[in-house]
Chain A
């Protein structure tokens, strides 16, 4: 990126309230998740700190609430605020894990398929189309249903099985276009090896759309993880998860204990919305077809 483009990028970002807002929300929850052990008033998964005697406490401002548990407690006496903080951690961990794993795989496959074409391209894209028509959530759900062990790593793998397709497709599309450019022909004429062309010339020029995919993907993955955990096939019961909190809370909803659903639910919507706001801005910023003057 040249200096001029970089400064335009920065200018556009700081002059778009929704982009700044989205990024701020995201940064807030990232920090909260990162420092969860320091910030959380309790450790909801330390069994010595949790007693059933504290179960089903309402938030502090309702009658029966105590200031020890600001947002109340769940059915096992875990502090909701702390569980949310630790839950964000799991969500973001899964999101980053999936983005790294499927992003790495997808970008590599897309790059190779687009550049070499032929049989490799046909096989990869055929596979991608078939997988994608089953939807990431469906395959992840079925895989988690089959896995005997549960764990954060399992969730990451189950989601990445289909998720790499997003990256591969975007990558392949951009490579097919960029391949025709004069600078690639020039690089080849000067005797560059394929590896050098791919990594030094092609990759940096086609990476921009991938950033958009990363942003959108983070939001999607967080929701998939929550959905899996809600259905009881996500992270194990010993791990905190927003989806699982909502599933537990749902059982107490009829008793009027709305806080068990609303707080974790609201947190998740905020995180995902923050990412989406930022992703929307990024997509338009990087799309040359839409002029951003208003």
Chain B
């Protein structure tokens, strides 16, 4: 985590002079100098880092160079929109992916299974941004039944969390972005589950389980799937980084007012504090989830024990 902070800081400090950006393109050198002092950019590099780090530890990543409000606040304000989008997508991808993967591996020769596998091949071959663009083209432009951008009406929950789950317009606005985000991840998880199941179903202990006369449900879900879930769980942990980046894509396409949209704008505008705050928040989330995944391992596989 500390390593990440250092790298972030170094890279951002040395890619373009922020004081020029804040002061504007046609500022006089004197104005640039004034800005440099106001933001503390004239101090030696290591002092800047230590100062910045001590502030960051308290959740203060500085003010956005563009909108002049605290960077972390700016991001947290956008957090609910992204969380709602991402969790809906992950839950859908995970449950559907594993379920369909099992279905396909039990009956590989059915036409339905073949159809699912064909669509999953199309799924992993189509990048998220293309899925999104095509979905808008079909459902919003040609058919005109779903809204192509925005988040719709939101209701404020607990005075803080604006949610789109509780209004009809919020839900309809959610459909296309979620489908976009789900598409690729679903295909990946499905194929992973299928590959795992195909290997496991040929193992001796599965034959034993069949021979014991256990029901199909028991053999498939209790004996086989449990062993397949380990790589699937790993993959879902890894998927989180993907979801974050693809939420940038999805949010851009649908003008979804989330963190990803904010990040992209900030990158175009070299808004250093916001980008750094985003990276820190993202790495915090990812590392937390990874610990969660490790714990899940132990639950799934009694052979793994952490001391």
Which residues of A come within 8 Å of B, CB atoms?
A: 132-135, 137-138, 141-142, 145-148, 219, 223, 226-227, 230-233, 243, 246-247, 249-250, 253-254, 256, 258, 261, 265, 268-269, 272-273, 276-277, 280, 287, 289-291
What are 17 inter-chain pairs, A to B, with CB distance below 8 A? A132-B238, A133-B237, A133-B286, A134-B282, A135-B239, A138-B244, A141-B245, A142-B275, A148-B15, A148-B16, A227-B129, A231-B252, A243-B129, A249-B133, A256-B141, A276-B124, A290-B199
Q: Chain B residues near A132: list those with CB within 8 A.
A: 238
Q: Mark B240-262, 1 if CB is under 8 A from A, else 0.
A: 11101110110011000000000
With beta carbons under 8 angstroms apart, the residue of B15, B124, B242, B268 that contacts A135 is B242
A139 to B, closest residue via Cβ: B241
B121 contacts A231, C-beta separation under 8 Å: no
B64 contacts chain A at the CB level, 8 A cutoff: no
A138 to B4, CA, bound (A): 14
Task: Determine the chain A residues whose CB is within 8 A of the CB of B88 once the complex forms.
Answer: none
Residue of chain B at shortest CB distance from A132: B238
Shortest Cβ distance from residue B75 to the other chain A in the assembled complex, whole angstroms: 15
Which residues of the other chain, B, contact A249 by a CB distance below 8 angstroms? 133
Contact A273 B12 (CB under 8 A): no
Flag if A142 contacts B279 (CB, 8 Å). Answer: yes
Asked whether A141 and B248 contact (CB < 8 A) given A146-B15, A148-B15, A232-B268, the answer is yes
Q: Which are the 9 A-B pairs with shortest beta-carbon distances? A: A135-B241, A145-B267, A273-B125, A138-B245, A272-B125, A223-B127, A230-B129, A137-B245, A135-B242
Return B199 CB to nearest CB of chain A, in Å: 5
Residues of B in contact with A, size category: 35 or more
Q: Contacts A231-B252, A232-B268, A269-B122 known; A258 to B137 CB distance under 8 Å? A: yes
Q: Are A227 and B133 in contact (CB under 8 A)?
A: no
In the assembled complex, the Cα of A133 lies from the Cα of B242 at a distance in Å of 9
Q: B277 near A: Cβ within 8 Å?
A: no
With both beta carbons as reference points, the residue of chain A lying nearest to B191 in the complex is identified as A280
Question: Taking each of B12, B130, B267, B290, which has the highest tally of chain A beta carbons within 10 Å of its own beta carbon?
Answer: B130
What residues of chain A lie closer than 8 Å to B11, measured between beta carbons? 146
Contacts known (A145-B267, A290-B202); A137 close to B286, Cβ less than 8 A: no
Given A243-B129, A265-B130: A276 and B121 within 8 A (CB)? yes
Please report the C-alpha to C-alpha distance between residue A135 and residue B290 in the assembled complex, in whole angstroms: 13
Contact A134 B133 (CB under 8 A): no
User: Chain B, 3-34, contact with A by CB distance < 8 Å: what is the 0/1 string?
Assistant: 00000000110011000000000000000000
- Main SS at interface, chain A: helix
**Which of A226, A231, A246, A277 is within 8 Å of B248, CB to CB?**
A231
Residues A231 and B264 in contact, CB atoms below 8 Å apart? yes
CA distance A289 to B202 in the complex (A): 8
Number of A-B contacts (CB under 8 A): 110
Residues of B within 8 A of A146 (CB): 11-12, 15
Bound Cα distance A269, B129 (Å): 12
Q: Which of B121-159 contact A (CB under 8 A)?
A: 121-122, 124-130, 133-134, 136-137, 141, 148
Residues of A within 8 A of B163 (CB): none
How many Å lie between the Cα of A250 and that of B136 in the bound state?
Answer: 9
A contact residues around B63 at 8 Å (CB): none
Take A135-B245, A138-B244, A230-B249 as given contacts and tell me if A253 and B133 are in contact as well, using a CB distance cutoff of 8 Å.
Answer: yes
Say whether B290 contacts A273, CB under 8 Å: no
Q: Which of B16, B199, B239, B245 has the most chain A CB atoms inside 10 A of its CB?
A: B245
Determine how close the nearest CB of chain B comes to the CB of A283; give it in whole angstroms. Answer: 8
A142: min CB distance to chain B, Å: 7
Write the nearest CB–CB distance from A29 to chain B, whole angstroms.
13
Answer yes or no: B287 CB below 8 A from chain A CBs. Answer: yes
A134 touching B286, Cβ below 8 Å: yes
Please measure, in the bound complex, the distance between the C-alpha atom of A134 and the C-alpha atom of B1, giving whole angstroms. Answer: 12
Known contacts A135-B239, A145-B275, A231-B249; can you find 18 more A-B pairs with CB under 8 A? A133-B286, A134-B282, A134-B283, A135-B245, A138-B244, A147-B15, A148-B15, A219-B124, A226-B127, A227-B129, A227-B249, A230-B249, A253-B136, A256-B141, A269-B125, A272-B127, A276-B125, A290-B202
